[in-house]
Structure 1
Amino acid sequence: MEHRLVVNSESNNLLKELTSSLQTCDSFYFGVAFVNFSGVQLLLDTLKEAEKRGIRGRIMTSTYLNFTDPQALERLKEFEHIDLKVFVTDKQVGFHTKAYIFEYPDSYKIIIGSSNVTQSALKSNVEWNVEIVSKKHAAFVERVLAEYEQLWNRSIIATETFLHDYREMYRNTERVAFTANAVYEKAEYVVPNSMQSRAIDNLDRLRNLEETKALVIAATGTGKTYMSAFDVKRVRPKRLLFIVHREEILQKAKETFEHLMPSIQRSFGVLTGTQKDWDADYLFANIRTLANHHTLFEPEAFDYIVVDEAHHATASQYEQVLAWFTPQFTLGMTATPERSDQLSVFELFDHNVALEVRLHEALADDIVAPFHYFGITDLSDIDLTDVHLEDTAEIAKRLQVHKRVEFIAEQMAFYGFDGEERRGLGFCVNREHAAFMAAAFNQQGITSQYLSGEDNGAVREAAIRDLEDVSHPLEFLFTVDIFNEGIDIPTVNLVLMLRPTQSPIVFIQQLGRGLRKHPGKQFLTVLDFIGNHTKSFLIAIALNGQRYYDKESLKVAVATEFAHVPGATHIQMDKISQERILAQIDQESFYSMAYLKEQYMEFKKVRHGKTPYELMDYYTYDGAPDPVKFIQKEGSYLHFLMKMEKEDSIITLLQDEVWASVYKTISKMLPIKRPHEFSLYLALLEQDALSIEEAAYEIRHWVEEVNRNSVQHAMQNVTHAFLDQREKDRSPALVEWYEESIVRSSILKELLQSDTYKQYFIDLLEYGLHRYAREFGKKDYGTPFFKLHEQYQMRDTAVLSNATVTHSSFRGSGLLRSGNDLFLFVDLHKDAGTEERLMYKDEIKSPTDFQWESPNNMAQNSERGERIIEHKEKGNRLHLFVRKYKTIENSVVEPFIYLGELNVESFQNEKPVMFQMKLHHPIPAQLYRELTEKV
């Protein structure tokens, strides 16, 4: 008898166990207390395949606590190969069984534990399930089968009559349950979610640094208004001003604050065109009205100001208002921190980002609804291989066939949706395509409408209201680009991707339109019809959500169906789509100029043709191209931009050799691995000098704690103290050392005479720091300053270990040293041309075990050998960095991944020495697969 524990983790979950077992068994028997459609939908394709194979099964569930979903029962009943029964519970007898039994020719696999058939139980909850494989007729198997049979006989068949009666009872019970739960919405029971708690803690930290402004960036529907109310409740200002851009959300914001602070003893009021509560303690104001009347208030009238939709705050109305008031603290909140032509919202809030939440973080924090994505191979009749994606008219023409509409309707019927009433968005190629889809759906009895940029605001708002109203017959809106961002329709529970994906940004924006949480909606269903066009792999980049990727990591993500995506979200592609995307990834050259140009042009298109002159233009979009790749290609972003746009202004800018050299030198530091140097550069753009204490203060904006040695090292580093002479000659230093301080060099003073140069400096430093904050957070990683499982180059170890030697010496060798830190750099797969005598037997043997073979000239009793063997006794720390290949496509040098510290467990042989080592921290499942497997 074999047994093992099955838990939900990044590497595995119960859903995978069930689907793999259903794909191989001869028959199956489920007995679970609860069955929800959220869980059933995840099993639909596997159950369909089992039906095709002639595999019969029994599913038994119960009415215990009325938690089983009638929709789930009705969907399961549609499978002809499944016998469905329900154990009807009463006050005396409950039903809490969770058992999954699979029969094979000579054995049974039995999984018994804690998981019901719900999305969370199958994928993300903390669940324990024991899987036992045993020969047939074993005593344990016989006992389980007998118990199952007894319960099966006590259960009743899920007839149409039973399902009708159960649905009616379920609806009534659900209404009662909702009313009973209302008590938990009382203000004293409402507590911040994890996102809100992190934001509030960071706001406190910034105020302790005597900062007076901060920005929070999070998607619509993630609770920013509640977060601001929690912070105001903590700070308790005497007077508050809450500024909104749209009047329709003003009243909701006021109600949120009143709800959370029923006993705060402050008066609440509004300032609009029709109502002016001048003396209210907490005033909620429309910006248009406030801009006309702000001078009626004293500048110090408000202690705390909240600016909702803060990306508008760079507009002239806001600038006038915010310049007038002098509060103790100003909080900006935005989902889209896009830059205006004059000023970035980051600059407006002094670069202080208290929190930034992108899609994957929102899913992990459970502040948006999870989504179930199904990638479905489009009809083979529709051929897009010879059509350029820019030719929307031709694509639309080929997609406008009724056979495809029937296929879409079939898939909608098969996968279903969560909730009582279907509310869907369909994203189309152009207006003609949207009109065609709406007409075709109307012909099928699905009330639909189409919208495009040609429709005015009133028409759009009316259509959105109708879709939100569950009593209105409208079920679908088909749109072209206009719902990509900024539109919030919480009731949407089904999204149809009906066009070829051209941009990860647009894909994420469209996906986001259905992720707002809503009562009665547990998840969003996404059906993506994937054609045979040449850029299908962009879907994988969008879903992957990783800040960096290469072919290997992207292929592993596709092959594992994006197992790293957090929470109950489920991503599934059919076999044809998956193989097609994997083949495209193999064929694509992600570092070629052709690919980078395509990325750039598509990004510019997303920005409605506006040239992205600055790096921060990329930062503001989830799913944007990585501009560091542009820098790596051409030396700096402006050099890349010059090739793309050939504008005289950029060409002239780069003709100043000193400026171009300095800009290129700082550009090559991206992406930064610690914020110290960039924070010092940024401060020196505004002030002439920084003492050690002042430098530490600037760094603490980005890192919770910083030791004096690291501050001094960073100060020396910006003076180019650790560059070799060739590097110093190539680029002049912007900073000099003077009496225990760093000061602007004459070169920097001269460059800052130009507002254009200064703005590009700010952009470069701002991008580096905010990207760092997004990827590394505020944690102090100590010395050396390494974050587990991040990417590094050899030379980074010199900076991050505070090495005081010439940093260019940190290259070329597999074993480097800085003080008592030893850094081991390993290529796991040697190049095909490597001589056999140099083919070291380096191997990751398990998530915690590593084998390293030293260079051929190392002996155990050599200085280097003893340094490693006796590392504990000598006080040395061993750090491991690995990469799968030395170079990837187009001879691009791949960075190393830091796997943390490790200890020598044993060693043998001489010249070379073979070491067996153990890592302090296990390698995460997804990364382990990336490093050890080929897809």
Structure 2
Amino acid sequence: MHNIDDLKNGMYTGFIDDKIDSFEEYQPSLLINDESREIKVLTSIIEELSSCTEFYFSVAFITNSGVASLINTLKDLEERNIKGKIVTSQYQNFTQPQALKRLIQLSNVEVRIATKGNFHAKGYIFKKHEHYRVIIGSSNLTQNALSYNKEWNLKVSASGNGGTLKSILDEFNENFEAAEIVTEEWINVYKEIYQSERQKRASIKEQMEDIQAEMIKPNKMQGEALEALEELRLEKKDKALVISATGTGKTYLSAFDVKKFKPKRFLFIVHRENIARAARKSYKRILGNSIEMGVLSGNSKNFDEPYLFSTIQTLHKDDVLEKFKPDHFDYIVIDEVHRSGSKSYEKILNHFKPRFLLGMSATPERTDGYDIYKTFDYNIAYEIRLKRALQEDILSPFHYYGISEIEVDGVVLDDKTDFNKLVSDERVERIIEKAKFYGFDNGRVKGLVFCSSIKEAKDLSNKFNQRGYKTISLDGSSSEKEREEAIQRLEKNEQIEDYLDYIFTVDIFNEGVDIPSVNQIIMLRPTQSSIVFVQQLGRGLRKSSGKDYLVVIDFIGNYANNFLIPIALYGDKSYNKDNLRKLMNSGSSTIPGVSTINFDSITKDRIFKSIDNTNMATKKALVEEYKLLKYKLGKIPTMMDFILHGSRDPIAFIDYSKSYYNFIADIENMRDELSSEERSHLEFYSKELGGAKRIEDIIMLEMLIEHESFSISEVEEIIKENYDFYPSEQTIESCIRQLNCQFLKEKDRKKYKQINTLLIEGTDISIHEELKYKLNNKDFKDYLIDLLEYCRDKFNKAYSKENYNKGFLLYGKYSRKDVCKILNWKSDDSSTVYGYRIKYNTCPIFVTYHKKDDISESTKYEDGFINKHQFSWMTRSGLNLDSSEVREIKNYSSTGLRILLFVKKSDGEGGDFYYMGDVEPINYKQTTIKDNNGKEKNIVNINYKLNKEVEDKLYNYLIN
């Protein structure tokens, strides 16, 4: 139940004085799409829908893509019987009939359409029991308006008794009652009108595309890559590698560069004949018909044309290769160069000596020990991954739906599921049901289905055919001709008799296949590799005329590697569990453009469990990531190299080996670079500072290394200049204890041997002779500086003036030990803190939101959020309102006791807690709790007010 005073205060803050304290929930706010801040109108609408009791939309235009952005949320509302009304318009015949058809299939939604007048409203109304949230502005129900366009929308809260609110509801109801009811029959009539208008628009668009095709120019990405290639050649480099996501125009890019280079003889090497012919076609569009171009393959023996497009299978044969001298070609391009580790590619690379060699790949990473980067002298000319390609609008947007796999005989499919269950009729019906529900863009379905095995692909294809679909299965044994024919049939219009709805396959379409019109991808296999996932997703990301978006339906069972799904979708390769949890909570807000990522509650839970349960830092995984980056750079990478190249968070190496140096020394068999004492001291700095939880420690150590001595006031000024706050005297003292290893318990100090970092004399700090001596060892110094650069970078990325509060970052994660340190406690008392402790006029509270069942009854405290700005908490058992601890909390305002709330979802998250902010007690209640023997024990229930209400994403994650 909302409080009228809270609503008044929120309106006062928003419209009269922003310095007035109020809950954000009730403050009016401007909703826009801003990629740099990772905010979308869509996110706000989904959040409001998820917590409403009724909803009403009044929008001029609705498109299929707009419905696709919200369909998961609307389906969830249907299952919870949350009803809604939507009124739209036939104005300019822009609203898509397919969008209307999808909406009326939802039993909880009434849809009407205004067929007369210039209906141009854009408003979203959400009832929340006795009050309302209203969004009014410029956003229609289209994917661009909800996620990409420059839009202005005002969101306000209102009481049901408010005059303006009543006017809005009256206007909505008047428009709704005046509009026509949308039925299947109405849609069928409207569809003919819409198709006629669409054909007119398509004709104009085709004419424009034809004109543009004649004037084809490099896109932004290609332009940047061409400049980089030219720069490499100016530096006398004769090899280069371009890493570019599938569908971003690598072939055109190479053609543009060849046009600039003007080789007399040119060679393009691929692994499939159909790709060779497609590449030649692309080159002709760029270079024209004045240059003779031939195909060299099993079916085409062109040797004499100056520009050749050849398959590797033909070219590597001795009788073919010997026809060409090593310097025959001036310029050679190798497509899908990550295959170049094979003997056939090596043979060709060893034979030819062109003036320039260009390799192209979407995924050059290899784990078999072959160093592709070395082949190209580590000259990476340009790199564009999926996220950047989406940012630049080079690819088709996608709407991804992660949905729960079916239960067969009461068991959810997992990695060990019996084959018969994978092809059961029950599963087939489930796949078809979801494929129909999530649908596809306009026209007919043109889908790829990725399966776990050849037999599964064949059997599922047969069962689809039995149900009236036109499908085929392909695998590694399928001939080139069979594949080409299947692709042609998939791309045909429905008027052609032998068209295909779906191609079922295993892995053969992961790369190197161009099927632009694919509008639906179904994934029926566990994700074993984020690279393969992105490759398969990429099959549908090429833009195509008449295709607005791709639908991706991913059936997610109880698979061990489910954690790879967010890694692939969001492009975060840090393998940092907290990062992955945050991304899962972010929904679509962190995906560029209009693409969306949607999970149902069951699949989201499965992914979170996989994140919790998976050891992502096994030695094998760490070595693999290390070698991949080492190959890419051509040198031993630093910690900062991992950050700069978007790779694994290097803190994993510290967690595994106590320091990054230890890991390198083991892998590279280094023995004498550091003494045992230097190793121990590097371990201390790595383990105790590597989490980057307090910036003062890091800056003071940096200053010692750089200047050897400085004053406390200099530290204060540097921190003020960089972070806009002055550290307290107690914090400086705590940092000194920390850097000299005095904060730790005796047993922990011993394992690091004797640590002497600095000396303090009055207000001056100077380097200790022991550290000064160790810094003479260049290796020790380099690894230490690298560590500090990493720590500073990590803190800077998390820090903002708005989310920083006396040492803690709002929603940052901290262990009990971290909290003791940042609160400037004299020593590490984390082992005795448990749920909370009052010490040095501070009281940190630690709550595990979802507690284990096997803990004692007397510790099953009923702690939890009352709402986003209030938290109900229980003291330890055995206390009453007159207990000393309770009295200290009661007297917080007069004593200045600082009370801080830290929460984690479950023990599966490890030992770190989210800092939810400082809190104030607002009421107290004496109650009881049962012990293991069923005996009632006294306990005090305290309700706290949070200084800042919890953000929606984290709140929903914690409570669900």
Q: Decide which of 362, 369, 372 is 1:335's aligned counterpart.
A: 362
Residue 57 of structure 1 corresponds to 84
Q: Decide which of 527, 542, 559 is 2:553's aligned counterpart.
A: 527
Q: Decide which of 194, 199, 212 is 2:220's aligned counterpart.
A: 194
Residue 516 of structure 1 corresponds to 542
What is the number of equivalent residue pairs in this alignment? 711
- In structure 1, what is the Cα distance between the partners aligned to 2:65 and 2:420? 36
CA displacement at 1:367 relative to structure 2: 2.3
Q: What CA deviation, in whole Å up to 9, does each residue of 1:556-580 have, x standing for no partner?
A: 2223336323222222222233234
The letter for the 2-side match of 1:519 is S
Look up the SS of the partner of 2:55 in the other structure.
strand
CA displacement at 1:227 relative to structure 2: 2.4
Residue 61 of structure 2 corresponds to 34
Residue 396 of structure 1 corresponds to 419
- In structure 2, what is the Cα distance between the partners aligned to 1:259 and 1:299? 27
1:417 aligns with 2:443: no
- In structure 2, what is the Cα distance between the partners aligned to 1:826 and 1:553? 29
- In structure 2, what is the Cα distance between the partners aligned to 1:381 and 1:631? 43
Residue 268 of structure 2 corresponds to 243
Residue 456 of structure 2 corresponds to 433
Distance 1:661 1:125, change over 3 A: farther
Distance 1:785 1:223, change over 3 A: farther
CA displacement at 1:94 relative to structure 2: 4.2
CA displacement at 1:287 relative to structure 2: 5.9
Residue 96 of structure 1 corresponds to 120
The letter for the 1-side match of 2:463 is A
- In structure 2, what is the Cα distance between the partners aligned to 1:232 and 1:437? 45
Residue 285 of structure 1 corresponds to 309
Distance 1:213 1:833, change over 3 A: farther
Distance 1:252 1:66, change over 3 A: farther
CA displacement at 1:238 relative to structure 2: 6.5
- In structure 2, what is the Cα distance between the partners aligned to 1:113 and 1:544? 30
- In structure 2, what is the Cα distance between the partners aligned to 1:443 and 1:826? 71
Residue 749 of structure 1 corresponds to none
Q: Where do residues 175-254 of structure 1 align in structure 2 (5 Å cutoff)? A: 175-181=199-205, 182-184=207-209, 185-187=211-213, 190-232=216-258, 235=260, 237=262, 239=264, 241-245=266-270, 246-254=272-280
1:500 aligns with 2:523: no
Whether the aligned pair in 1 keeps the contact of 2:145 and 2:151 (CA below 8 Å) is: yes
Q: What CA deviation, in whole Å up to 9, does each residue of 1:604-624 have, x standing for no partner?
A: 9xxxxxxx9866679999999
- In structure 1, what is the Cα distance between the partners aligned to 2:389 and 2:951? 20
Q: Decide which of 140, 154, 157 is 2:181's aligned counterpart.
A: 157
Residue 392 of structure 2 corresponds to 365
CA displacement at 1:350 relative to structure 2: 2.2
CA displacement at 1:203 relative to structure 2: 2.7
- In structure 1, what is the Cα distance between the partners aligned to 2:675 and 2:540? 47
Q: TM-score, normalised by structure 2?
A: 0.61
Whether the aligned pair in 2 keeps the contact of 1:467 and 1:475 (CA below 8 Å) is: yes
Whether the aligned pair in 1 keeps the contact of 2:576 and 2:648 (CA below 8 Å) is: no
The letter for the 2-side match of 1:570 is T
Look up the SS of the partner of 2:282 in the other structure.
helix
Residue 138 of structure 2 corresponds to 114
Whether the aligned pair in 2 keeps the contact of 1:504 and 1:623 (CA below 8 Å) is: no
Q: What CA deviation, in whole Å up to 9, does each residue of 1:437-468 have, x standing for no partner?
A: 22322222223333344545544444344333
CA displacement at 1:375 relative to structure 2: 2.1
Look up the SS of the partner of 1:450 in the other structure.
strand
Distance 1:360 1:186, change over 3 A: closer
The letter for the 2-side match of 1:429 is S
Look up the SS of the partner of 1:96 in the other structure.
coil
Whether the aligned pair in 2 keeps the contact of 1:287 and 1:318 (CA below 8 Å) is: no
Q: TM-score, normalised by structure 1?
A: 0.63
The letter for the 1-side match of 2:601 is K
Whether the aligned pair in 2 keeps the contact of 1:311 and 1:339 (CA below 8 Å) is: yes
Distance 1:562 1:299, change over 3 A: same
Q: Decide which of 54, 59, 70 is 1:43's aligned counterpart.
A: 70
Whether the aligned pair in 2 keeps the contact of 1:615 and 1:627 (CA below 8 Å) is: no
Residue 489 of structure 1 corresponds to 515
Look up the SS of the partner of 2:292 in the other structure.
strand
CA displacement at 1:121 relative to structure 2: 1.9
- In structure 1, what is the Cα distance between the partners aligned to 2:491 and 2:303? 32
1:467 aligns with 2:490: yes
Look up the SS of the partner of 1:272 in the other structure.
strand
Whether the aligned pair in 2 keeps the contact of 1:504 and 1:624 (CA below 8 Å) is: no
- In structure 2, what is the Cα distance between the partners aligned to 1:51 and 1:784? 47
Q: Decide which of 397, 405, 415 is 2:428's aligned counterpart.
A: 405
- In structure 2, what is the Cα distance between the partners aligned to 1:562 and 1:357? 21
Whether the aligned pair in 2 keeps the contact of 1:384 and 1:531 (CA below 8 Å) is: no
Whether the aligned pair in 2 keeps the contact of 1:312 and 1:318 (CA below 8 Å) is: no
1:8 aligns with 2:12: no
Distance 1:209 1:562, change over 3 A: same
Whether the aligned pair in 1 keeps the contact of 2:365 and 2:628 (CA below 8 Å) is: no
CA displacement at 1:317 relative to structure 2: 6.2
The letter for the 2-side match of 1:406 is E
Distance 1:589 1:300, change over 3 A: closer
Residue 448 of structure 1 corresponds to 471
CA displacement at 1:247 relative to structure 2: 4.1
Q: What CA deviation, in whole Å up to 9, does each residue of 1:693-712 have, x standing for no partner?
A: xxxxxxxxxxxxxxxxxxxx
Percent pairwise identity: 34
- In structure 2, what is the Cα distance between the partners aligned to 1:321 and 1:551? 41
1:574 aligns with 2:600: yes
Q: Decide which of 101, 104, 112 is 1:74's aligned counterpart.
A: 101
- In structure 1, what is the Cα distance between the partners aligned to 2:575 and 2:628? 22
The letter for the 2-side match of 1:16 is T
- In structure 2, what is the Cα distance between the partners aligned to 1:479 and 1:638? 45
Whether the aligned pair in 2 keeps the contact of 1:564 and 1:926 (CA below 8 Å) is: no
Q: What CA deviation, in whole Å up to 9, does each residue of 1:496-546 have, x standing for no partner?
A: 232333443333333333323222322222222222345444434433421
Q: What CA deviation, in whole Å up to 9, does each residue of 1:88-120 have, x standing for no partner?
A: 46xxx6443322233455544332212111223
The letter for the 2-side match of 1:101 is I
Residue 710 of structure 2 corresponds to none
Q: Decide which of 525, 549, 554 is 2:580's aligned counterpart.
A: 554
Residue 875 of structure 2 corresponds to none
Distance 1:364 1:399, change over 3 A: same
Residue 194 of structure 2 corresponds to 170
Consecutive unaligned residues in structure 1, runs of 5 or more: 605-611, 644-649, 674-721, 736-764, 766-771, 773-781, 793-811, 815-822, 844-883, 895-924
Residue 126 of structure 1 corresponds to 150
- In structure 1, what is the Cα distance between the partners aligned to 2:467 and 2:616? 43
The letter for the 2-side match of 1:361 is R
Distance 1:145 1:889, change over 3 A: closer
Q: What CA deviation, in whole Å up to 9, does each residue of 1:798-848 have, x standing for no partner?
A: xxxxxxxxxxxxxx999xxxxxxxx99999x995657966798999xxxxx
Q: Where do residues 627-776 of structure 1 align in structure 2 (5 Å cutoff)? A: 629=652, 633=656, 654=669
CA displacement at 1:71 relative to structure 2: 0.7
Distance 1:96 1:275, change over 3 A: farther
- In structure 2, what is the Cα distance between the partners aligned to 1:573 and 1:659? 50
Distance 1:825 1:33, change over 3 A: farther
- In structure 2, what is the Cα distance between the partners aligned to 1:728 and 1:542? 43
Consecutive unaligned residues in structure 2, runs of 5 or more: 1-7, 12-27, 635-641, 691-769, 800-816, 846-901, 913-949
Look up the SS of the partner of 1:491 in the other structure.
coil
Look up the SS of the partner of 1:174 in the other structure.
helix
The letter for the 2-side match of 1:129 is N
- In structure 1, what is the Cα distance between the partners aligned to 2:424 and 2:575? 37
